[in-house]
C-alpha cells in the first residue's frame, strides 16, 4: 500500500450518474507527487485535445497531495484542475481551507468529474463512500447559503466543501469554486466548468488516518519544523500572523509593484492614499482570526463592518490581490467597499482579481467615452467612485444589465463593447493579470513576466518558476509554508520530509525531475490544444511598451520575446515552438504519452 496517500481516486460520470473508484497508481504518484502533478497526468492521459471547456468531455479534478492530511504544517492545499474556459489552456488553481484534508481522510486523493448532469447535483464523500445527491434545492443559493444548508442537511458541522454560487451556475468565465466560505481557488474560471456540469458542490467528511512510512521520524521532523517555522514567521517581517498578505499593500503601491488605474498609473502620483487599504487599515475591521486546519501562521481573518451602506457581520479579510484589484486598480481607497466587493465575490463565487480588473477595464472605457453612463445602467464609472464600483460588481456577479457585458472577464467584455476597447483590456489569453508588475519583479530577480506569458496557465503569479518549486507545489504545502520551510528548515530538505511520509527517497535531482515532468505535461496539454507560444502576449502597457515616464519604473521595459526564449531554452524546450525535446522526455521518464503525441507513436492521442 502506498504510504502518504489515501491510495484511491474517484471518477464521477455526471451524465450517467456513475461513480467508479480506481487505485492510485504508484508510479504516477512517484513521478508526479500530487496536486496539479497528478491532476495534469490524469487529465492528459484521459482527455482528447480541443474539446469544449464547458462541454461534457472536459474533466474537472479536485486533487490533494502527499503532505495533506498527515499532520504536516501547511499541508492543506486543494488544487482544482481542468481545461480553462477563460483561457482555453490548461487550467489549475489552488486554495487553502479544510477540503483537501477532509477528502483525503475520507479515503480519496482526488476526485475527477466528466459529463453533464441532467439536474443539479452535489457529491457527498464520507469515509470511503461517495454518492451523488440532488441539488435542485441549492441551485441559486450563494456559497455561504449553500454551505449552511448542506451542513444542516448532512447534520454535521465538520464537513468541508467546495461549492459554486450563482456566477458559476451561470457559467461566468471568471467564476470559481469557494472552499469553506472564504477560500477561493480563483483563477482559470473553473467555477464555470462546475456550473456547466450542474455540479453545485463537492462535500467531504473523513475520519481515516492516512498511513505514513515513519510516524516517529515525521513527528520529530514536524516538531522541529513547527518550532523553527513558527519562530521565523513571528520574528521576520512581514509578520504574516498579524496581517496575512495585506501588510504590504501600500508598500507595493508606492514601490511600483502593485498596478494602479488599470495598469496605466504610477502609485506614488495617482494613489497617494494607499495606506487606507493596507495593513492596520485592514486589520481595523478584523473581528477574529481565521486559519486553515493546523496552521501556525493563521494568515486569514474574519472582518465585519458595523454601520453604513456596507455594513456586514462577517466576511473574509481581503487578501493583497483583492486590495489591489478592487482598490489600487480602481483608485478606490474606501476600505468598507472593498470588503463588500470581496464578500460579493466569495458569495457569488467569483475570482476577485478578474472581477476587479474587469471593473477597471469598464472604468477606463467610461473615462475614454467608449461607454456612456446610460449604457452603464446609469452608473457614474469615474475612477474611485466606490458606490458605482459596488453596484457594478453586484451586477457583474448576477449577470444583470451592464454586468452581463462584463461577466466573462475583460477580454470578452471588450469583444462585446467593440469600439477599439480591446487595447484597454489587460489580460493574457483571456485571464486578467495579478497585482504584481512584472517590470518591478524582474528588477528583483523574480521572473514574473515569464510566468505570466510562458506558463501553461497564463497570467498567474503563484506558479513556480523553477522545477523544485513545482515539486513543492505538488506536495500540497501552501506558499507561506513553502517559504518558511525553505528559510528555516532548508530548501533541500523536502526529500527528508517526503521520505518520512511516503517511504520513498527523493534526492534534490529527483524532485527537480518531478517539477520538470509537471511543466512538460502541462505544456504538452496546451500544444495538443493547438496553441503556440506566439498566441500568448502580455499587453504592451504591462511590459513597458511604451515605458512609464515617471515613478519607480520609469523607463523600464521588458523584452518578452527574449525572456520567453531564454526560459524555453533553460527548460530544454524548443525556443520557438515551446515543444519539450524528445531527449528531455526520455531522460525524465513517465511521459511516454506526451512523447508519443509530440513525436509520433501513439494512436488516438487526440
Partner 1 sequence: MNVVVHVRLNALLRKYAPEGNTEFSLHIAERCTIEDLIGQLGIPPSQVGFAAVDLKCTPRSRVLESGDQVTFFPPLTGG
Binding residue for partner 1 (CB under 8 A) from 237, 308, 418, 546? 237
Which residues pair with residue 78 across a beta bridge?
Answer: 95
Tally of CA atoms within 13 A in the half-sphere of 365 that contains its CB? 32
Q: Where are the alpha helices (DSSP H) in 47-172?
A: 99-105, 143-154, 166-169
Binding residue for partner 1 (CB under 8 A) from 57, 275, 394, 572? 275
Cell numbers of 333, please? 481607497
If one asks whether residue 250 binds partner 1 (CB under 8 A), the answer comes out as yes
Binding footprint of partner 1, residue count (CB under 8 A): 33
In the shown chain, the binding pattern of residues 193 to 232 toward partner 1, with x for contact by CB under 8 A and - for none, equals ----------------------------------------
Binding residue for partner 1 (CB under 8 A) from 57, 239, 377, 466? 239
Binding residue for partner 1 (CB under 8 A) from 36, 99, 108, 254? 254
Which residues pair with residue 131 across a beta bridge?
Answer: 124
Quote the least distance from Cβ 278 to partner 1, whole Å: 7
Cell numbers of 546, please? 511604451
- The span of 237-245, 412-420, 490-498, 520-528 binding partner 1 (CB under 8 A) equals 237-245
Quote the least distance from Cβ 544 to partner 1, whole Å: 17
Q: Report the 10 Å Cβ neighbour count for 154.
A: 16
Name the strand (E) or helix (H) holding 326.
helix 320-326
- Strands (E) in 64-120, as ranges, are 78-83, 90-95, 110-114
Among 34, 36, 22, CA closest to 502? 34
Residues belonging to the chain: 606
Of 34 and 244, nearer to partner 1 (C-beta) is: 244
- Contacts of 562 by beta carbon, 8 Å cutoff, 6+ apart: none
Given phi > 0 = left and psi -120 to 50 = alpha, else beta, which region is 17?
left
- The span of 74-82, 239-247, 305-313, 374-382 binding partner 1 (CB under 8 A) equals 239-247
Of 102 and 257, nearer to partner 1 (C-beta) is: 257
CB 499 within 8 A of CB 213: yes
Quote the least distance from Cβ 520 to partner 1, whole Å: 28
Quote the least distance from Cβ 16 to partner 1, whole Å: 39
Of 36 and 243, nearer to partner 1 (C-beta) is: 243
CA distance readout (Å), 230 to 74, 101, 221, 224, 488:
11, 21, 14, 10, 9
If one asks whether residue 248 binds partner 1 (CB under 8 A), the answer comes out as yes
Quote the least distance from Cβ 578 to partner 1, whole Å: 27
Cell numbers of 537, please? 502576449
Of 61 and 256, nearer to partner 1 (C-beta) is: 256
Rounded-to-integer distance, Cα 204 and Cα 104, Å: 9
Binding residue for partner 1 (CB under 8 A) from 251, 312, 370, 596? 251
Binding residue for partner 1 (CB under 8 A) from 163, 196, 255, 453? 255
Cell numbers of 345, please? 465575490
- Contacts of 178 by beta carbon, 8 Å cutoff, 6+ apart: 143, 162, 163, 164, 165, 184, 346, 347, 349
If one asks whether residue 484 binds partner 1 (CB under 8 A), the answer comes out as no
Of 135 and 240, nearer to partner 1 (C-beta) is: 240
- The span of 75-83, 84-92, 272-280, 285-293 binding partner 1 (CB under 8 A) equals 272-280
- Contacts of 306 by beta carbon, 8 Å cutoff, 6+ apart: none
Of 56 and 547, nearer to partner 1 (C-beta) is: 547
Of 279 and 597, nearer to partner 1 (C-beta) is: 279
In the shown chain, the binding pattern of residues 417 to 436 toward partner 1, with x for contact by CB under 8 A and - for none, equals ------------------xx
- The span of 194-202, 314-322, 333-341, 414-422 binding partner 1 (CB under 8 A) equals 314-322
Quote the least distance from Cβ 394 to partner 1, whole Å: 24
Among 72, 28, 69, CA closest to 485? 72
- In the complex, the residues that contact partner 1 under the rule CB under 8 A are 237-240, 242-248, 250-252, 254-257, 268, 272, 275, 278-280, 319-321, 435-436, 461, 479, 551-552
Amino acid at each position: 500500500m502506498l504510504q502518504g496517500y489515501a491510495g484511491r481516486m474517484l471518477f464521477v460520470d455526471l451524465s450517467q450518474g456513475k461513480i467508479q473508484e480506481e487505485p492510485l497508481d504508484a508510479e504516477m504518484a512517484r513521478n508526479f507527487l500530487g496536486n496539479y502533478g497528478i491532476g495534469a497526468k490524469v487529465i492528459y492521459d484521459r482527455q482528447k485535445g480541443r474539446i469544449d471547456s464547458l462541454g461534457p468531455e472536459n474533466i474537472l479534478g479536485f486533487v490533494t497531495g502527499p503532505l495533506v492530511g498527515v499532520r504536516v504544517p501547511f499541508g492543506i492545499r486543494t488544487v482544482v484542475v481542468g481545461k480553462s474556459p477563460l483561457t482555453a489552456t490548461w487550467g489549475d488553481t489552488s486554495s487553502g481551507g479544510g477540503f483537501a484534508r477532509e477528502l483525503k481522510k475520507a479515503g480519496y486523493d482526488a476526485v475527477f468529474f466528466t459529463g453533464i448532469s441532467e439536474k443539479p447535483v452535489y457529491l457527498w464523500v464520507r469515509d470511503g463512500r461517495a454518492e451523488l445527491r440532488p441539488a435542485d434545492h441549492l441551485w441559486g443559493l450563494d456559497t455561504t447559503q449553500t454551505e449552511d444548508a448542506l451542513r444542516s442537511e448532512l447534520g454535521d458541522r465538520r464537513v468541508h466543501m467546495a461549492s459554486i454560487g450563482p456566477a458559476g451556475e451561470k457559467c461566468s468565465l471568471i467564476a470559481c469554486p469557494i472552499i469553506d466560505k472564504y477560500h477561493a481557488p480563483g483563477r482559470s474560471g473553473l467555477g464555470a466548468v462546475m456550473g456547466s456540469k450542474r455540479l453545485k458542490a463537492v462535500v467531504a467528511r473523513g475520519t481515516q488516518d492516512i498511513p505514513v512510512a515513519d510516524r516517529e521520524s515525521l513527528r520529530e521532523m514536524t516538531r522541529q519544523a513547527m518550532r523553527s517555522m513558527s519562530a521565523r514567521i513571528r520574528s521576520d517581517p512581514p509578520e504574516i500572523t498579524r496581517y496575512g498578505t495585506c501588510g504590504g499593500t501600500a508598500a507595493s503601491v508606492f514601490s511600483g509593484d502593485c498596478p494602479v488605474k488599470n495598469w496605466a498609473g504610477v502609485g506614488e502620483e495617482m494613489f497617494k492614499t494607499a495606506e487606507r487599504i493596507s495593513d492596520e487599515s485592514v486589520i481595523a475591521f478584523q473581528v477574529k482570526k481565521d486559519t486553515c486546519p493546523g496552521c501556525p501562521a493563521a494568515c486569514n481573518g474574519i472582518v465585519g463592518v458595523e454601520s453604513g451602506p456596507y455594513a456586514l457581520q462577517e466576511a473574509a479579510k481581503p487578501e493583497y490581490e483583492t486590495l489591489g484589484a478592487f482598490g489600487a486598480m480602481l483608485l478606490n481607497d474606501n476600505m468598507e467597499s472593498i470588503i463588500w466587493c470581496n464578500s460579493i465575490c466569495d458569495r457569488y463565487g467569483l475570482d476577485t482579481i478578474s472581477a476587479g480588473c474587469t471593473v477597471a477595464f469598464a472604468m477606463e472605457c467610461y473615462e475614454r467615452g467608449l461607454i456612456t453612463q446610460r449604457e452603464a445602467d446609469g452608473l457614474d464609472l469615474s475612477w474611485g467612485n466606490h458606490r458605482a464600483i459596488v453596484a457594478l460588481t453586484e451586477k457583474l456577479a448576477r449577470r444583470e444589465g451592464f454586468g452581463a457585458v462584463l461577466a466573462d472577464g475583460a477580454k470578452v467584455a471588450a469583444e462585446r463593447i467593440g469600439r477599439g476597447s480591446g487595447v484597454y483590456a489587460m489580460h493574457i489569453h483571456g485571464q486578467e493579470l495579478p497585482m504584481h508588475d512584472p517590470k518591478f519583479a524582474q528588477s528583483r530577480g523574480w521572473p514574473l513576466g515569464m510566468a505570466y506569458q510562458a506558463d501553461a496557465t497564463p497570467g498567474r503569479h503563484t506558479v513556480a518558476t523553477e522545477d523544485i518549486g513545482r515539486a513543492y507545489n505538488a506536495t500540497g504545502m501552501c506558499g507561506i509554508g513553502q517559504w518558511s520551510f525553505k528559510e528555516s528548515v532548508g530548501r533541500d530538505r523536502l526529500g527528508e520530509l517526503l521520505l518520512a511520509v511516503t517511504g520513498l527517497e527523493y534526492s534534490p535531482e529527483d524532485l527537480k525531475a518531478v517539477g520538470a515532468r509537471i511543466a512538460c505535461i502541462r505544456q504538452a496539454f496546451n500544444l495538443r490544444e493547438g496553441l503556440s507560444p506566439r498566441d500568448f502576449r502580455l499587453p504592451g502597457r504591462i511590459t513597458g511598451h511604451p515605458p512609464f515616464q515617471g515613478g519607480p519604473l520609469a523607463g523600464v521595459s521588458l523584452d518578452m520575446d527574449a525572456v520567453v526564449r531564454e526560459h524555453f531554452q533553460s527548460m530544454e524546450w524548443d525556443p520557438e515552438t515551446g515543444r519539450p525535446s524528445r531527449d528531455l522526455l526520455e531522460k525524465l521518464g513517465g511521459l511516454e504519452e506526451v512523447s508519443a503525441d509530440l513525436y509520433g507513436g501513439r494512436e488516438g492521442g487526440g
